[in-house]
């Protein structure tokens, strides 16, 4: 149960930031050679319906188009064993980004629900918990460089990884004859941003060692833009083991039961992102803004 809690922030509203979690560092975007999987009977091999170059070109075009949108909306969901632990909805615009996240942490007396709001603009990230009371109620905590809200690694000051990782997805081929989905790969270090820092430490006890390798992802595609991205935790676990990581059996089981999805709904509505009012901001060490 602790492992599931670490997926959903591994903390409480009182411990709002995580600066000591593993930081999956940026890696080369070039493909990294990995050992070939054991061959299987031809009947078990996925059928290829299009020239891989077509899928790669389609991916490049739609990512380029999405990166120039006035507003890019995203909806992130992480579930383990069919139980949703984190749901994040947000938008990215030229001014910055903002999001709202619902966490569910397992508890012997029943699950605990937390709601976190974040705003990022001009390289500064603020967070607020709906459950904060007294001096912190309605206030926005200014995060220091290197800190992430509740250890959610994807929430970076410049741009959330939920959107920025699209630039690093490498298309392989269309998944079916309808060309509505693309088989693709993502570097391990990029995929790790979709977890919390605490869980990264559990599944990779030596996170300072760069893990070279790639993880399969499935991309939804409607001919004009990417509609969604799906990553299976079991694929990430296998890639980590192949890259030399040694997660505990419990951590491996939790990751094997995990599914991550990111949807990218079309949004033309203008959404200005601005910093919280000065009087509502406070820094670490202070009890609040009141």
Q: What is the pLDDT of residues 59-108, one digit of tens each?
A: 999 999 998 888 999 999 999 999 999 999 999 999 999 999 999 877 66
Q: What pLDDT is attached to residue 110? A: 62
If one compares 27 and 270, the residue with the highest pLDDT of the two is 270
Question: pLDDT averaged over the chain?
Answer: 82
Give me the residues paired with residue 120 across strands. 97, 125
The pTM assigned to this predicted structure is: 0.83
For 164-193, write each residue's pLDDT tens digit: 999 999 999 999 888 999 999 999 999 999
Question: 266 near 116, Cβ under 8 Å?
Answer: no
DSSP 169: -
Confidence of residue 49 (pLDDT cuts 50, 70, 90): very low
* Residue (of 162, 93, 103) closest to 127 by Cα position: 103
Structure confidence at residue 211 as a pLDDT band (50, 70, 90): confident
Of all helices (H) and strands (E), which one includes residue 237? helix 233-242
pLDDT recorded at residue 200: 87
Handedness of CA 132, 133, 134, 138 (dihedral sign): positive
Question: What is the C-alpha separation between 224 and 149, in angstroms, rounded?
Answer: 33
Question: Would you state the pLDDT for residue 9?
Answer: 53
> In this model, does residue 215 exceed pLDDT 90?
yes
Residue 199 pLDDT level (bands cut at 50, 70, 90): confident
Residue 210 to residues 25, 26, 217, 245, Cα–Cα distance (Å):
8, 10, 20, 10
Residue 201 has a pLDDT of 84
């Amino acid at each position: 149960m602790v492992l599931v809690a670490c997926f959903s922030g591994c903390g409480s509203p009182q411990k709002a930031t995580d600066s000591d979690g593993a930081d999956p560092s940026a890696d080369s975007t070039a493909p990294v050679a990995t050992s070939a999987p054991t061959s299987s009977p031809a009947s078990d091999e996925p059928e290829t319906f299009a020239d891989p170059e077509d899928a790669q070109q389609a991916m490049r075009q739609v990512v380029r188009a999405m990166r120039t949108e006035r507003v890019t909306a995203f909806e992130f969901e992480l579930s383990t064993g069919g139980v949703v632990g984190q749901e994040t909805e947000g938008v990215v615009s030229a001014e910055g980004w903002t999001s709202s996240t619902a966490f569910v942490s397992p508890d012997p007396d029943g699950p605990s629900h937390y709601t976190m709001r974040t705003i990022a603009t001009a390289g500064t990230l603020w967070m607020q918990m709906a459950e904060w009371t007294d001096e912190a109620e309605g206030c926005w905590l200014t995060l220091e460089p290197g800190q992430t809200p509740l250890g959610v690694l994807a929430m970076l000051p410049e741009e959330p990884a939920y959107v920025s990782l699209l630039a690093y997805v490498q298309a392989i081929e269309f998944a079916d004859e309808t060309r509505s989905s693309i088989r693709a790969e993502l570097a391990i270090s990029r995929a790790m941003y979709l977890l919390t820092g605490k869980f990264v430490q559990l599944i990779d006890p030596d996170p300072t060692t760069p893990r070279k390798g790639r993880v399969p992802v499935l991309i939804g595609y409607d001919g004009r833009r990417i509609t969604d991205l799906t990553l299976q935790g079991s694929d990430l676990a296998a890639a980590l083991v192949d890259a030399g990581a040694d997660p505990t059996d419990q951590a491996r089981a939790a990751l094997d039961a995990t599914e991550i999805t990111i949807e990218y709904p079309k949004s033309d509505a203008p959404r200005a992102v601005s910093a919280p009012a000065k009087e509502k901001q406070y820094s670490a060490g202070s009890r609040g803004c009141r």
